[in-house]
Amino acid sequence: MSQDAAGDATTEGDLRNTGMSLKHDREWDYELERIIDEIEEKDAKKVGLQFPEGLKRRGPAVADDLRELAPDDVTFMLSGQPCYGACDLDTFLMRRTDVFVHFGHSPMKNSEKIIYVPLFSNVDVFPMMEDALEELPEDDVGLVTTAQHMNLFPEMKEWLQEKGYEVHTRKGDDRLTNEGQVLGCNYASADIDADQVLYVGGGKFHPLGLAMEHPDKKVVIADPVNNVVTVADTEKFMKQRYGAVHRAMDAEKWGVIFCTKIGQGRWEMAEKIVEENDNAYLITMDEVTPDRLRNFDMDAFVNTGCPRITTDDGPQFHKPMLTPGEYEIAVGHEPLDSLEFDTFHGTW
């Protein structure tokens, strides 16, 4: 079991279910010429290719196309590591190849060796934006989207302005590459002066995070991939969070997870918890999965790594798993009403 195995789980907002019943087939530009240029310039012999889970099946065809274009002595390798986001950069393969191509996510780590190929969706976003308007009655609106639709962001903004809105956008912080971009763990681009935010993109994973981080705002989802407009509803998630905190209040032995992936290493936070609690034990791992934790005899876990593992996959773990902020509530250091969404800032 692992985050991978949850394919048949029905968690709302689950990234892995996104697109299971796509209304539109998407096409992608893999920027083969740019990759070949880099291979030739670096005289590369080993080239690594990493695709997000949903596009792994396209990998062999992309490798075929590259093999036709590249010199004969170049070996292409596909990363088989799980890949759901920018933090999942396969650093092992990266270190062992001359050129390493990461498809579909914004940069989390920069290196001479890495080529980031953004995969922009060719889906028309405006019909769903049109449908979303009736859920956006106020004059001011925030606008955010994901890496896949960033290429259309200026057009989306203009379109909303033409409809008469005052459109609020910002770049957010250092962890975000582009204006208006959101990540599963960072919604600083929605720290804007509007009570309603329009999210344009596929699935509910990002807008649910956004709504948890900004509980005071109405988050309207224009999903051009599944052809649907909805309003983010965090009630089920929040009930789960409070439930997990309550169940963890009786815990004696705590496992404190330190995730070794780039972009997730909150060492000081993990160390502080262990220093202050004699019944807390540091556990290090890359993929944080139910099976990896099952053999540890703990009463509860606090995850200093990806907050989405905690909030979205939490119910699949055999013991309560909390974010660091929720841990502080469970052990009585903070009041229950201090509960808020756990976000990451900066890059590592």
Residues of this chain that bind a second copy (CB under 8 A):
1-2, 4-5, 7, 48, 53-54, 56-57, 59-60, 63, 75-82, 90, 92-93, 253, 257-258, 260, 271, 274, 281-289, 291-298
Taking the C-alpha atoms of residue 208 and residue 312, their distance in angstroms, rounded to an integer, is 10
- Cα 54 to Cα 81: distance, rounded to the nearest angstrom: 13
Q: Which is nearer to a second copy, 101 or 283 (CB)?
A: 283
Nearer to a second copy, 4 or 158 (CB): 4
Half-sphere exposure of 301 (CA within 13 A, CB side): 31
Between CA 194 and CA 217 the distance in angstroms is 8
With b meaning 16 or more CB within 10 Å and e meaning fewer, what string describes 116-132?
bbbbbbebebeebbebb
Q: Which is nearer to a second copy, 4 or 174 (CB)?
A: 4
Question: One-letter amino acid identity for 157?
Answer: K
CA 68 from chain centre, in angstroms, equals 33
Which residue, 284 or 338, has its beta carbon nearer to a second copy? 284
User: Least CB distance from residue 51 to a second copy, whole Å?
Assistant: 9
C-beta of 11 vs 169, nearer to a second copy: 11
Contacts for 170 with CB less than 8 Å, ≥ 6 apart: 179, 180, 188, 189, 191, 192
CA distances to 109, 168, 169, 182 from 174, rounded to whole Å, are 12, 19, 15, 12
Assess contact for 213 and 7: CB atoms under 8 A.
Answer: no
Q: Is the dihedral of CA 322, 87, 224, 164 positive or negative?
A: positive
The alpha helices in 277-344, defined as continuous H runs, are 290-294, 307-313, 324-330
* Other CB atoms within 10 Å distance of the CB of residue 134: 9
The nearer residue to a second copy, 2 or 227, going by C-beta atoms, is: 2
CB 322 within 8 A of CB 310: yes
In the complex, minimum distance from the CB of residue 94 to a second copy, in angstroms, rounded to a whole number = 11
Helix (H, G, I), strand (E, B) or coil at 230: strand
301/327 with CB nearer a second copy = 301
The answer to whether 99 and 42 are in contact (CB under 8 A) is yes
The minimum distance between CB 77 and a second copy, in angstroms, equals 4
Would you say 5 or 22 has its CB closer to a second copy?
A: 5
CA 198/CA 160 separation, integer angstroms: 10
Of 271 and 340, which CB lies nearer to a second copy in the complex structure?
Answer: 271
Determine contact, residues 50/101, Cβ cutoff 8 Å. Answer: yes
